[in-house]
């Protein structure tokens, strides 16, 4: 499964209905292409809420052909039959996760360090994420990842995800720098029309025109 396109990450929310509703809106035009994945990440939810939300998102994603990737939680990824797992530096061992995931996707956060990306690929990661490429409201203290990193990482032979402060206004520059996917939270899920904003991001990766409001 080769990732390319919009990599949407769910926002933190104590309200499951609101979170699922936003995800549904984002996925409205996903069947037209330009999507890489939807990552489930909700730091505001407890274990039972997370399990219910992961299952609900799987049911939204699968008919639309969008992989569901669970953030940080291997057991939840397996229990919800998600399509993959994403791990940060302190979230567990990549090689151990790879052994349990089978053919599911495994991604790794590599911040601004090419050596972390090399180690992640050697441990079985299917894609690597670099960021923050721009100042991020979600993680204001995150180390910045320079655009040059994406060119240097092309030799790894896996998809490269850019994350951190990405908006519709700056996403094209990141793609030109070599990112295969743009990971977006706020500029997507805080948009006045989530479906139209998602379509606009997805259209950066395909030749079809975006849907106008």
Options 13, 22, 104, 109, the catalytic residue: 109
Options 41, 104, 197, 199, the catalytic residue: 41
Task: Quote the tokens at residue 161.
Answer: 């995800």
Confidence of residue 1 (pLDDT cuts 50, 70, 90): low
Of 72, 181, 85, 188, the C-alpha closest to 130 is 181
58-114 pLDDT, tens digit per residue, is 999 999 999 999 999 999 999 999 999 999 988 789 999 999 999 999 999 999 999
Q: With b meaning 16 or more CB within 10 Å and e meaning fewer, what string describes 165-184? A: bbebeebeebbebbbbbbbb
Pick the more confident residue, 40 or 1: 40
22 is catalytic: no
Give this prediction's pTM: 0.94
172-209 pLDDT, tens digit per residue, is 999 999 999 999 999 999 999 999 999 999 999 986 44
Options 24, 62, 118, 139, the catalytic residue: 139
Cα gap 70→61, rounded to integer Å: 12
41 is catalytic: yes
Residues 6+ apart with CB under 8 A from 199: 28, 29, 32, 34, 210, 211
Q: Which residues pair with 6 in a beta bridge?
A: 35, 182
SS3 91: coil
Q: At what angle do helices 16-26 and 47-61 cross, to 10 degrees?
A: 20
Tell me the DSSP string of 126-160: SEEEE--SS--SSSTTPPP--THHHHHGGGG-S-E
186 is catalytic: no
């Amino acid at each position: 499964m080769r990732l390319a396109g919009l990599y949407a990450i769910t926002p933190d929310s104590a309200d499951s209905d609101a979170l699922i509703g936003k995800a549904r809106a984002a996925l409205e035009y996903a069947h037209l292409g330009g999507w890489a994945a939807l990552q489930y990440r909700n730091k505001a939810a407890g274990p039972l809420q997370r399990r219910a939300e992961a299952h609900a998102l799987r049911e939204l994603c699968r008919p639309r052909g969008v992989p569901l990737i669970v953030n940080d939680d291997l057991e939840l990824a397996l229990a919800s039959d998600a399509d993959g797992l994403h791990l940060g530096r302190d979230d567990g061992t990549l090689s151990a996760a790879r052994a349990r995931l089978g053919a599911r996707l495994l991604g790794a956060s590599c911040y601004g360090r090419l050596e972390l990306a090399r180690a992640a690929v050697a441990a079985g990661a299917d894609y690597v994420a670099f960021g923050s490429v721009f100042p991020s409201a979600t993680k204001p203290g995150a180390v910045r990842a320079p655009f040059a990193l994406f060119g240097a990482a092309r030799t790894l032979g896996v998809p490269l995800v850019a994350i951190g402060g990405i908006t519709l206004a700056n996403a094209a520059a990141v793609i030109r720098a070599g990112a295969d996917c743009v990971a977006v939270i706020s500029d997507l899920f805080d948009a006045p029309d989530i479906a139209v904003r998602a379509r606009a991001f997805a259209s950066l990766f395909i030749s079809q025109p975006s849907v106008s409001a």
